[in-house]
C-alpha cells in the first residue's frame, strides 16, 4: 500500500468513527485491477466493532447524503483526496475533450515526452473514457495508465499529479492545489466566438472561465488567440498565471509522415479528401443535420470516389448515430488524432472548425462548405470574416464538388490570403512548438511567456441577485460611476437568472467583468456538520465563543477552499458584499484575506431581521448568521448616516469596534440615465384613452402599458416592491381618506411583489379600482412618475431610498414617512416628511395638493461626486498588506 493511498484512508477512518461512534480498523490487501492486467494496490475497510463510543449516536444527514447521492459522494471523496494526498512528483495527467480520446495538444506533448530520455522516470496518466480510443502502441507501456472521468482513480490523480494538462476544462469540483502545475492548451485559433462573446445562454462558459483562473499557463498559438481567450473570459488584470505564445504542439504533428494512419484508414493509394464539419446538433436531436451529412458525404463518394478516398471526421455523438443506422461511410475513428490525420490529407472540406487553421501550414487546398453561414453567425457569431480565409465558400455540395477540379490552382488564387493567415495565425508553427511548451513548463523558460496584469486595483463584488429592488439600482449606479481607469471590477453571481434578474443583469456597465459561479462547495463530512450547526445556532454561537472564534477552523477552511475552487489564484485587492443578505457570499468573503473587505447595510437591519412575509421570517435565518460575521470585515457600510446610527445602536453588542467599523456611504446615482429615460416616452391611443407603449423598433408592434395620467385630476404615484416594509396598504388607506374629501385624485402604484393580491383586494373592496392603479413592474417608470404630480413613499423602514433620489433628479414634489432612511434624503427642505401613519400621509398629501409648497432644488451632480468620494475613501489599498 503506497503512501498516497494510506493518507486519505486515515481521514476516512476518522470521519466514520466520528459519525458512527464505532472504532474502525483498516486492513490492506493486494488486489488485481482489470486495467491493463497490472497489479495495483487497493484497499478495504473492515469495521471490527471493537469499541462502541456512544450507543445512542445517530447517523448524520451528511453521512446519509454521502451514502445515497453519487454526486455528493464524488465531491466529498475528491475533497478528501485534495486535502490529504501528497503531490506525485514526476507524474503528468493528460485530458483531452473530457476524456473522449488521446488527441490535440495534450497528445502531442505526451508523444514527445514519452520518447524524451530526460523524462524517462516520469509516469503518465491519460484520462480516457473508452480504451478503444487509445492507439495500441500505448496500451502496454509500463509508465502509462488510463482512468475514466469521475472514477475514483481519476479523483485521486486529479488531486495529486504534479502536472495537469488539459485542452478544455476539468470538472467543477476540481481545484489546483499548491504545488500542482496546471497547463491549459485550449484547442484552436478561434474563427467562432468564445466565452462571453458567444450568442446564446448567459454564463455558458462559466466552468471554462473558472478553469482558466486555476491555470499556471495558458498555451496560445498566436497573439490573436491569446487575446480572445483572455478578453472573452474577463481575465485581463485578474489572471495571475502566464500566457505562453509558443505555437501549438498539435500542429507539429501535421508535419510528420504518418504512414500508420494511411494504413489504418486503408487509403495508401488514393489522394485523400477529408470532410470535417462543425458539430451543429443538440444532444438527442441530430436527425436533420444527420440526414444532410449523410447525403452530402454520399454525393462526394459518388462523384469523387474514383479519384479520392473520402474520409468523414465528425463529433463522436454524430458518429454514434451514423453507426447505429449501419450506414457505410469512411468515418475516422476517435483513436486517430485529427492533426496526425491532416498530415495525409490532400484536400480539406470544412465550415467553421478551427481545424482549417492547422491545415494551412500544408498550403494544400481548403474548401469552406458554409451552407448555413448566416444562421450560424446569428446563433454563435464569428471573430473573423470567412471571406478573408484562403479558400472558396460554397453553399451547396455540388459547388464543393465543382471546386475540387480547380483545387490545384488554389496556391495561386489564394496566395495573398494564405500569406495573411500564415503570418497572422501560424507564424510560430515551425515544427518546434512542442519543444517550446516543454521548455516553458518543465524548465521555466520564460521567453515565450507574459502576464496580463495591470496596475489597477481589483474589486470583487456580489450585488445580491439583481432582483427588482433598491439594492440592484444602487449596485448598477455604483458600477456606472466607478473609475475604470483605476479599477478592475468583477461582479460575481449565479448564471441561472430568471427573466426579472436577467433584465437587470444586462444593464451592467460594459466595463464590468462577470463571473458566474458553477458547481457546489467541496466539503468534508465534518465540515458540513459544522456548517449546519452554525446555521442552526447563528448568533447564539457568537455569545458562546466570542468574535474571534465564531467561525471555527472547519468553517474557515471550507470557505477558503471554496474561494480557491472558484477563483484559483486570481488577484483581488478588495471584496464587497454589496447585498449583505446572503450568508454564503458573506461567509466566502469573510473567511478569506484581502486588503479590504466591505459589507453593506441597505436598510434598518433589525427591522429586516424581524420582517415577516406569509407568516414566515424573510431574512432572520440568514441575518442570524451574518450579523456576527461583521467582525471579519473591515467596514460595515450603511447607505445613510441616520441608517448607520440606528444599525450601530441596535447591533453594537455583536460588532467589535463598531464606532470605527460601522460607517456610511451614500448611494451614488445615475442622473443621466434617469433624464434620458424621459426622452423614451411613447404613448398610444385606444378609444378615448391614452396608454404608454413599448417597442424597440419601428417594425415592432407596440405593447400597451399603463394608462397615462389624466391631467385634469391630481395624480399621486409611488414605486417599490409590494412588500410589508414598503407598506403600500397604508398609502391606499390614506388615499381613501383623501378621496372622501376630494374625488378629483388618482393613485399609481409601480411595482410587483408578494402583497399584490392583498392590495388588489383592498382596492376593489373600497370601490376605487378606477382611481387606484396597480401598474406592475416597468422597465422605464420615469415617464409615468414625471407625468404625475407628487411622489409618495409610505415605507416603514428604508436604508437610503434610491427612488427618492431619482424623484429629486426629476424635481418632483415628494411626501415620505419620517423614518431614518427617508429623513437622510429629504431633511433640510428637499421634501415633505410626515408622521409614519395613515393620518400623517393624509396630512402631507392634502398639504402638497392644496398649498403647492416649494422645496429645495437637488444638485444631483454635486451629490454624486460626494457620494463617490465617500465610497473611494473606504477602498484605499494599503500597499503593505499582502493581497
- pLDDT tier at 871 (50, 70, 90 boundaries)? very high
Query: Which range has the worst mean pLDDT, 193-202, 361-370, 854-863?
Result: 193-202
pLDDT band at 548 (very low <50, low <70, confident <90, very high): confident
Question: 444 lies in a domain?
Answer: no
Q: Which tens digits make up the pLDDT trace of 398-435? A: 999 999 999 999 999 999 999 999 999 999 999 999 99
Question: In the prediction, which pLDDT does 845 show?
Answer: 98
Q: What is the CATH number of the domain that holds 856?
A: 3.40.50.2000
Taking residues 781-803, report their average pLDDT: 96
pLDDT-derived band of residue 58, with 50, 70 and 90 as boundaries? very low
> Could you tell me if 163 and 260 lie in one domain?
no
pLDDT (mean) for 577-602: 97
Q: Examine residue 669 and state whether it is found in any structural domain, yes or no.
A: no
Same domain, 259 and 298: yes
What lies within 8 Å, CB to CB, of 449 at 6+ separation is 217, 242, 243, 244, 245, 440
Residues 6+ apart with CB under 8 A from 752: 468, 721, 722, 776, 777
- 184, 217, 234 - which closes a domain: 184
pLDDT at residue 62, rounded to an integer: 85
Rg (CA), the chain: 33
The C-alpha cell at 361 is 501550414
- Output the pLDDT for position 495: 82
Domain that includes residue 842, residue range: 704-866
Residue 73 lies in a domain: yes
Average the pLDDT over 558-571 and give the result: 96
* Residue 285 pLDDT: 56
Cell (9 digits) for 624: 442570524
Residues 853 and 714 in one domain: yes
Grid cell at residue 870: 465617500
783 and 855 together in one domain: yes
Residues 713 and 647 in one domain: no
467 and 411 share one domain:
no
pLDDT of residue 83: 97
- Same-domain status, 423 and 481: no
Q: Which of 656, 657, 637 is nearest to 647 (CA)?
A: 637
Question: For the residues 424-449, what does the mean pLDDT come to?
Answer: 97
Q: How far is CA 681 from the centre of its chain?
A: 35
Domain co-membership, 423 together with 463: no
Q: What is the CATH number of the domain that holds 348?
A: 3.40.50.12580
List, for residues 128-146, the tens digit of each pLDDT value: 999 999 998 999 999 999 9
Does residue 195 fall inside a structural domain? no
Contact 470, 581 (CB under 8 A): no
Instruction: Supply φ then ψ for residue 13, to 5 degrees.
Output: -55, -45
Domain boundary, last residue among 184, 213, 230: 184
Q: Per residue in 845-883, is it b (16+ CB within 10 Å) or e — as a string?
A: beebbeeeeebeebebeebbeebbebbeeebeeeeeeee
DSSP structure class, residue 791 = E
- Among 182, 2, 190, CA closest to 85: 2
pLDDT digits (tens, 9 = 90+) for 837-868: 999 999 999 999 999 999 999 999 999 999 99
Residues 495 and 633 in one domain: yes
For residues 343 and 358, the answer to whether their CB atoms sit within 8 Å is no
pLDDT level of residue 175 (50, 70, 90 thresholds): very high
**The pLDDT of residue 54:** 38
Residue 644 included in any domain: yes
Residue 341, in any domain of the structure: yes
User: What average pLDDT does the structure give for the chain?
Assistant: 90
- pLDDT at residue number 18: 52
Q: Are residues 726 and 641 in the same domain?
A: no
Stretch 806-832: mean pLDDT: 96
pLDDT over 70 (residue 46):
no
Which residues, at least 6 apart from 407, have a Cβ–Cβ distance to it below 8 Å? Answer: 347, 365, 367
- pLDDT of 295 reads 92
Q: Which of 154, 184, 214 is the last residue of a domain?
A: 184
Report pLDDT digits (tens) over 221-271: 999 999 999 999 999 999 999 999 999 999 999 999 888 899 999 887 889
Closest C-alpha to 730, from 684, 762, 698:
762
644, 568: one domain: yes
| Residue 414 within any structural domain of the chain | yes
Q: What is the pLDDT of residues 346-357, one digit of tens each?
A: 999 999 999 999
For the full predicted model, state whether its pTM sits above 0.85: yes
pLDDT per residue as tens digits for the range 251-263: 999 999 888 899 9
Say yes or no to pLDDT of 332 above 90: yes
Same domain as 174, residue 29: yes
pLDDT digits (tens, 9 = 90+) for 644-653: 999 999 999 9
Assign residue 61 the CATH number of its domain. 3.40.50
Average pLDDT for residues 517-545, to the nearest whole number? 94
Buried-exposed string 510-522: b where 16+ CB fall within 10 A, e elsewhere: eebbbbbbbbebb
Predicted pLDDT of residue 883? 29
In a domain, 194, yes or no: no
Question: What integer pLDDT is reported at residue 16 of this predicted model?
Answer: 58
The residues, any chain, with a CB within 8 Å of residue 334's CB and separated by 6 or more, are 100, 101, 103, 130, 133, 316, 319
Count of domains forming the chain: 4
pLDDT tens profile 659-715? 999 999 999 999 999 999 999 999 999 999 999 998 654 445 677 889 999 999 999
Amino acid at each position: 500500500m503506497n503512501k498516497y493511498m494510506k493518507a486519505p484512508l486515515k481521514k476516512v477512518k476518522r470521519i466514520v468513527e466520528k459519525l458512527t461512534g464505532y472504532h474502525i480498523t483498516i486492513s490492506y490487501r493486494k488486489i488485481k485491477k482489470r486495467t491493463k492486467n497490472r497489479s495495483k494496490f487497493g484497499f478495504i475497510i473492515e469495521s471490527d466493532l471493537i469499541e462502541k463510543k456512544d450507543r445512542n449516536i445517530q447517523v448524520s444527514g451528511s453521512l446519509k447524503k454521502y451514502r445515497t447521492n453519487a454526486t455528493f459522494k464524488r465531491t466529498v471523496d475528491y475533497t478528501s483526496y485534495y486535502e490529504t494526498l501528497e503531490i506525485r512528483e514526476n507524474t503528468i495527467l493528460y485530458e483531452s475533450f473530457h476524456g473522449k480520446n488521446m488527441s490535440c495538444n495534450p497528445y502531442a506533448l505526451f508523444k514527445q515526452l514519452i520518447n524524451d530520455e530526460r523524462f524517462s522516470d516520469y509516469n503518465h496518466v491519460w484520462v480516457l473514457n473508452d480504451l478503444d480510443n487509445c492507439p495500441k502502441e500505448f496500451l502496454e507501456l509500463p509508465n502509462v495508465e488510463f482512468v475514466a472521468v469521475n472514477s475514483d482513480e481519476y479523483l485521486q490523480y486529479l488531486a495529486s499529479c504534479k502536472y495537469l494538462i488539459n485542452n478544455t476544462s476539468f470538472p467543477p469540483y476540481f481545484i489546483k492545489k499548491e504545488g500542482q502545475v496546471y497547463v491549459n492548451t485550449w484547442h484552436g485559433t478561434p474563427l467562432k466566438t468564445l466565452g462571453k462573446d458567444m450568442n446564446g445562454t448567459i454564463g455558458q462558459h462559466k466552468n471554462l472561465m473558472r478553469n482558466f483562473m486555476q491555470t499556471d499557463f495558458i498555451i496560445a498559438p498566436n497573439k490573436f488567440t491569446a487575446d480572445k481567450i483572455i478578453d472573452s473570459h474577463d481575465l485581463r488584470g485578474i489572471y495571475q498565471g502566464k500566457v505562453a505564445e509558443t505555437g501549438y504542439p498539435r500542429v507539429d504533428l501535421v508535419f510528420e509522415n504518418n504512414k500508420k494512419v494511411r494504413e489504418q484508414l486503408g487509403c495508401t493509394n488514393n489522394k485523400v479528401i477529408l470532410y470535417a464539419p462543425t458539430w451543429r446538433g443538440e444532444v438527442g436531436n441530430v436527425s436533420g443535420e444527420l440526414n444532410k451529412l449523410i447525403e452530402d458525404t454520399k454525393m462526394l463518394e459518388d462523384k469523387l470516389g474514383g479519384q479520392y478516398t473520402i474520409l468523414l471526421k465528425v463529433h463522436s455523438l454524430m458518429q454514434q448515430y451514423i453507426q447505429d443506422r449501419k450506414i457505410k461511410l469512411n468515418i475516422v475513428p476517435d483513436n486517430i488524432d485529427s492533426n496526425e490525420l491532416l498530415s495525409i490529407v490532400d484536400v480539406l472540406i470544412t465550415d467553421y472548425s478551427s481545424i482549417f487553421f492547422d491545415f494551412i501550414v500544408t498550403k494544400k487546398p481548403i474548401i469552406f462548405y458554409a451552407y448555413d453561414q448566416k444562421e450560424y453567425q446569428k446563433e454563435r457569431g464569428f471573430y473573423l470574416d470567412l471571406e478573408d480565409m484562403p479558400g472558396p465558400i460554397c453553399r451547396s455540395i455540388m459547388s464543393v464538388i465543382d471546386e475540387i477540379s480547380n483545387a490545384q490552382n488554389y496556391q495561386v488564387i489564394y496566395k495573398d490570403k494564405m500569406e495573411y493567415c500564415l503570418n497572422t495565425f501560424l507564424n510560430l508553427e515551425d515544427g518546434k512548438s512542442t519543444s517550446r511548451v516543454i521548455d516553458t513548463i518543465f524548465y521555466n523558460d520564460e521567453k515565450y511567456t507574459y502576464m496580463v496584469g495591470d496596475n489597477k486595483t481589483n474589486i470583487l463584488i456580489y450585488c445580491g441577485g439583481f432582483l427588482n429592488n433598491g439594492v440592484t439600482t444602487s449596485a448598477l449606479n455604483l458600477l456606472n460611476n466607478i473609475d475604470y481607469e483605476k479599477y478592475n471590477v468583477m461582479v460575481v453571481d449565479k448564471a441561472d437568472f430568471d427573466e426579472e434578474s436577467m433584465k437587470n443583469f444586462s444593464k451592467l456597465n460594459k466595463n464590468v467583468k462577470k463571473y458566474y459561479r458553477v458547481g457546489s462547495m467541496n466539503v468534508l463530512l465534518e465540515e458540513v456538520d459544522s456548517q449546519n450547526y452554525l446555521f442552526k445556532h447563528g448568533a447564539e454561537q457568537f455569545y458562546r465563543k466570542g468574535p474571534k472564534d465564531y467561525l471555527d477552523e472547519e468553517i474557515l477552511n471550507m470557505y477558503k477552499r471554496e474561494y480557491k475552487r472558484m477563483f484559483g489564484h486570481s488577484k483581488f485587492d478588495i471584496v464587497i458584499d454589496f447585498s449583505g443578505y446572503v450568508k454564503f457570499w458573506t461567509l466566502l468573503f469573510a473567511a478569506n484575506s484581502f486588503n479590504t473587505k466591505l459589507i453593506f447595510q441597505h436598510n434598518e437591519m433589525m427591522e429586516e431581521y424581524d420582517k415577516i412575509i406569509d407568516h414566515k421570517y424573510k431574512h432572520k435565518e440568514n441575518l442570524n448568521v451574518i450579523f456576527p460575521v461583521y467582525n471579519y470585515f473591515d467596514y460595515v457600510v450603511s447607505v445613510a448616516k441616520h441608517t448607520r446610527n440606528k444599525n450601530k445602536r441596535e447591533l453594537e453588542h455583536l460588532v467589535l469596534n463598531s464606532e470605527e467599523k460601522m460607517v456610511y456611504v451614500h448611494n451614488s446615482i445615475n442622473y443621466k440615465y434617469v433624464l434620458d429615460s424621459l426622452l423614451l416616452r411613447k404613448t398610444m391611443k385606444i378609444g378615448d384613452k391614452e396608454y404608454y407603449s413599448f417597442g424597440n423598433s419601428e417594425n415592432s408592434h407596440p405593447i400597451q402599458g399603463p394608462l397615462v395620467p389624466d391631467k385634469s385630476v391630481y395624480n399621486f404615484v409611488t414605486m417599490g416592491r409590494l412588500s410589508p416594509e414598503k407598506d403600500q396598504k397604508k398609502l391606499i388607506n390614506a388615499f381613501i381618506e383623501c378621496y372622501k374629501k376630494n374625488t378629483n385624485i388618482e393613485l399609481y402604484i409601480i411595482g410587483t411583489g408578494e402583497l399584490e393580491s392583498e392590495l388588489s383586494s383592498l382596492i376593489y373592496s373600497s370601490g376605487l379600482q378606477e382611481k387606484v392603479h396597480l401598474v406592475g413592474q416597468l422597465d422605464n417608470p420615469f415617464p409615468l412618475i414625471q407625468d404625475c404630480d407628487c411622489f409618495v413613499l409610505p415605507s416603514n423602514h428604508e436604508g437610503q431610498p434610491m427612488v427618492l433620489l431619482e424623484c429629486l433628479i426629476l424635481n418632483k414634489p415628494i411626501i415620505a414617512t419620517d423614518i431614518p432612511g427617508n429623513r437622510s434624503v429629504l431633511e433640510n427642505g428637499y421634501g415633505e416628511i410626515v408622521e409614519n401613519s395613515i393620518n400623517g400621509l393624509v396630512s402631507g398629501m392634502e398639504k402638497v395638493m392644496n398649498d403647492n409648497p416649494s422645496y429645495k432644488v437637488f444638485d444631483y451632480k454635486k451629490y454624486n461626486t460626494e457620494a463617490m468620494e465617500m465610497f473611494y475613501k473606504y477602498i484605499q489599498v494599503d500597499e503593505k498588506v499582502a493581497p
